[in-house]
Amino acid sequence: MEFKTTKEVEYDTKNARRILDVLNESIRGMTIHDIAEKLDLNRHTVTKICERMLIEKKINYDEKGPAKIYYSVGPNKFVGRVDQGKMDKIWIDTFKQPRYEGEEEFVRLNQTKHDHLIRASSKFKSVGAIAVKKSQLVNLIKILRDIARKEFGLSV
């Protein structure tokens, strides 16, 4: 039985960056097939990486008939971090330059957990993210404020 080295296991991170770069260059977006062909990767590998990046809100997609067209959500800016514990963090980013007409600016909240078993340079892995559109941000803040006051007795 052969063991993979750390560099061989990190292909997922490297390919995720390559996919993101290709999608950043594409004005109209790309299908899984197009991405796989351009990067000379297996379609299933591209699908799995794209599914993970969708959960992390790094990319988005539109359905055009039977095809899914994937595209980058655009450049982001890190604005803060909430440490929920030594190994549990919430990262807050803003996306103020939507890539496509009709898209709204948004805030992304991405939760990560530290995992000692990950064989990569970063031991933090995303466990999920949410994107809140600019038009709904005030509503979310009101709900969170009400929860803090009514459910937890905090003065906010």
Domain assignments of the chain as residue spans, ordered by start: 1-72, 74-156
As given in the structure block, the two tokens for residue 133 are: 């559109």
Whether the predicted pLDDT of 78 surpasses 60: yes
Question: Who wins on pLDDT, 89 or 148?
Answer: 148
Q: Rounded distance, CA 155 to CA 145, Å?
A: 9
Q: What is the pLDDT of residue 117?
A: 53
Do residues 47 and 32 touch, judged by C-beta distance below 8 A? yes
Q: What count of Cα atoms within 13 Å lies in the side-chain half-sphere of residue 144?
A: 7
SS3 label, residue 2: coil
Q: Is 26 exposed, middle or buried (0-12, 13-18, 19+ CB in 10 A)?
A: middle
**3-class secondary structure, 45:** helix
Entry pTM: 0.68
Q: How far is CA 5 from the centre of its chain?
A: 26
Q: Which CATH class is domain 1-72?
A: mainly alpha
Instruction: Tell the CATH topology of 74-156.
Output: Nuclear Transport Factor 2; Chain: A, (3.10.450)
pLDDT digits (tens, 9 = 90+) for 106-146: 999 988 876 655 555 555 667 788 999 999 999 999 999 99
Q: Where is average pLDDT lowest: 30-39, 50-59, 73-82, 113-122?
A: 113-122
* Dihedral angle computed from the Cα positions of residues 49, 38, 70 and 65, in that order, rounded to the nearest 10 degrees: -120
pLDDT of residue 5: 45
Tell me the average pLDDT of the chain: 84
Q: Is the pLDDT of residue 7 over 70?
A: no
